[in-house]
Amino acid sequence: GENVEQHPSTLSVQEGDSAVIKCTYSDSASNYFPWYKQELGKGPQLIIDIRSNVGEKKDQRIAVTLNKTAKHFSLHITETQPEDSAVYFCAASRYYKLSFGAGTTVTVRA
């Protein structure tokens, strides 16, 4: 089955700096790569996703890049703010099934 590795497990950044989280996947047939944000006491919520026919996607301060050849994808958050503090999960999918990374706890220092 699909195996998704996510790094780093924790990330502390100064407010205003950028944050980058990286994931690799094993199944070359995976074609959909969502990123979820989980705030304390809440369920994960989709923040951005990318499909395998696209190399990069941006939505305001967040962007995702995908390298199909190397089987890795990354989340970039620019101009970090305190409300960006959360746990972020990457996932890879073929059909309905999502395989999640272990998660990255992001802390934005004021």
> Where do contacts with other proteins occur on this chain (CB under 8 A)?
1, 4, 6, 9, 31-32, 34, 36, 41-46, 49, 51, 89, 93-98, 100-103
Q: Which is nearer to other proteins, 38 or 78 (CB)?
A: 38
Least gap, CB of 94 to other proteins (angstroms): 7
Cis-peptide into 8, omega within 30 deg: yes
Cβ atoms 3, 90 nearer than 8 A: no
Q: Which is nearer to other proteins, 42 or 83 (CB)?
A: 42
Pick the closest to residue 21 from 91, 109, 90, 92 (CA basis).
Answer: 90
The residue (of 15 and 51) whose beta carbon lies closer to other proteins is 51
Q: Cα 60 vs. chain centroid, distance in angstroms?
A: 15
